[in-house]
Amino acid sequence: MKMELYKIIALTNMHVGSGDINFGVVDNLVQKDPITRLPNINGSSLKGAFREHFEKENSKNLVEYIFGPDNQSNDSHRTGAYSFFEAEILTRPVRSNKKAYFNATSPIVIKSLLEKIDNFSIEFNDNLKKALEEFANLKPKDKPFIFEDIKNVILEDYNAEYKEFRNISILESFLGKDLALFDDESFRELELPVIARNRLENGESKNLWYEEIVPKKTTFFFVLGKPTNVSPEDSKKIQGFENRFNNEGMRLQIGANKSIGYGFCKIERIENE
Query: In the prediction, which pLDDT does 10 show?
Result: 97
> Structural domain boundaries of the chain?
34-39+89-219
pLDDT digits (tens, 9 = 90+) for 149-178: 999 999 999 999 999 999 999 999 999 999
pLDDT band, very low/low/confident/very high, at 75 (cuts 50, 70, 90): low
Q: Is the pLDDT of residue 248 over 80?
A: no
First to last CA, the chain: 21
Cα angle 132-255-204, degrees, rounded to a multiple of 5: 130
- Alpha-carbon Rg for the chain, nearest whole angstrom, is 20
Q: Do 222 and 88 meet the contact criterion of CB atoms below 8 Å apart?
A: yes
Q: What's the pTM value of the predicted model, to 2 decimals?
A: 0.91
